[in-house]
Amino acid sequence: MKQSIFSIESNEQIAKNVYRMKLKGDTEEIKVPGKFIDIKIEGFFLRRPISVCDADKDTVTIIYKVVGKGTEALSRMKEGKLDILSGLGNGYDLTVSGAKPLLIGGGAGVPPLYMLARKLIGQGKKAEVIIGFNKKEEIFYENEFKALGAEVTVTTADGSYGKKGYVTDAMQGKEYSYIYTCGPEPMLKAVYNASKTSGQYSFEERMGCGFGACMGCSCKTKYGNKRICKDGPVLFKEEIIWEK
């Protein structure tokens, strides 16, 4: 973890209620996909944890959905500096992906899969991507995933674009070596039940600190209590206990 100041390079709307922000700063701690950053927003008390979509040597890209006053304030910022804790969370383990990993994202859970797909494809893996949304206006990054060389399936719950249904409908008949996923908990659970292989599941939880101090985001696993912010957000399929 590192606390540092990032400057806003750009912040634009890319889908309904969804924004992409590019930040320039020290990305030393963001080498692994699946990590998150914790942003101090002027006028709000708690930092806002947001997953990393991509990072290179001096920029980090986040894609976030406006869900409350904090993210709404963030969406209005066009320039300026932000106090950020970077490099939080464990991130995805790429070493166990096998040759043909399947990446499954739902809504605001899609962003971290981008850096993951880029890294996996960079390692010569044949990554396939399923991204699910409620409706057409909410879709983002279909073309960006395709540009990486991934085979992409888009699903919409209302059928307004791509395959009608849920990500699990698109999983049917697919051959894959491993599953990486991120999205709302009901989707993660559905993927878990539909999956034929092991996998890694990235969870979301309301956090206090974001770095393991407050125990605000604890969950039970088969290997004991874990903190989503510090021991997660990525959990292995084998350790997950579904409580909700």
Partner 1 sequence: MGEMKVNLCGITLDNPVIPASGTFGYGYEFAELYDINILGTFSFKGTTKEGRFGNPTPRIAECTGGMINAVGLQNPGVDKVIEEELPKLKKCFNKKVMANVSGFSVEDYAYTCEKLDKCEQVGWLEVNVSCPNVHGGGMSFGTSAESAARVTEEVKKVTRKPVIVKLSPNVTDIVTIAKACEDAGADGISLINTLVGMRIDIRTRKAVIANKTGGFSGPAIFPVALGAVYRVSKSVKIPVVGMGGVSSAEDVIEMMLAGATAVEVGTANLINPYACRDIIRDLPVAMDKYGIGSLKEITGGAV
Residues binding partner 1 (CB under 8 A): 1, 3, 40, 44-47, 70, 85, 205-209, 211-220, 225, 230, 243
Q: Which is nearer to partner 1, 187 or 217 (CB)?
A: 217
Q: Provide the pairing of β-strand 178-182 with 199-202.
A: parallel
Rounded to a whole number, what is the distance in angstroms from the first to the last CA of the chain? 30
Check: CB of residue 5 under 8 Å from CB of residue 32: no
Minimum distance from residue 159 beta carbon to partner 1 (Å) = 26
Q: Which is nearer to partner 1, 159 or 242 (CB)?
A: 242
> Is residue 192 classed exposed, middle or buried when 0-12, 13-18 and 19+ CB atoms within 10 A define those classes?
middle
Q: Dihedral angle at the C-alpha atoms of 42, 213, 95, 219, nearest 10 degrees?
A: -100
Question: What is the closest distance, in whole angstroms, from the C-beta atom of residue 73 to partner 1 in the complex?
Answer: 12
- Dihedrals phi, psi of 112, to nearest 5 degrees: -65, -20
For residues 3 and 13, which CB has a smaller minimum distance to partner 1 in the complex?
3
Distance of closest approach, residue 70 Cβ to partner 1, in angstroms: 7
In the complex, least distance from residue 82 CB atom to partner 1, rounded to whole angstroms:
14
Nearer to partner 1, 104 or 235 (CB): 235
Q: Is the separation of the CB atoms in 35 and 93 below 8 Å? A: no
Tell me how far, at minimum, the Cβ of 212 lies from partner 1, in Å. Answer: 5
Give the DSSP letter string of 53-119. EEE-SSEEEEEEE--SHHHHHHHT--S-EEEEEEEES----GGG--SSEEEEEEGGGSTHHHHHHHH
Q: Nearest distance from residue 211's CB to partner 1, in Å?
A: 6
Cβ atoms < 10 Å from Cβ of 72: 13
Nearer CB in complex with partner 1: 6/176: 6
- Identify which of residues 167 and 209 has a Cβ nearer to partner 1 in the complex: 209
Q: With respect to partner 1, which residue has the nearer C-beta, 113 or 235?
A: 235
The rounded distance, in Å, linking the Cα atoms of 131 and 163 is 10
Q: How many residues does the chain have?
A: 244
Cis amide prior to 33 (ω within 30 degrees): no
Shortest CB 49 distance to partner 1, Å: 11
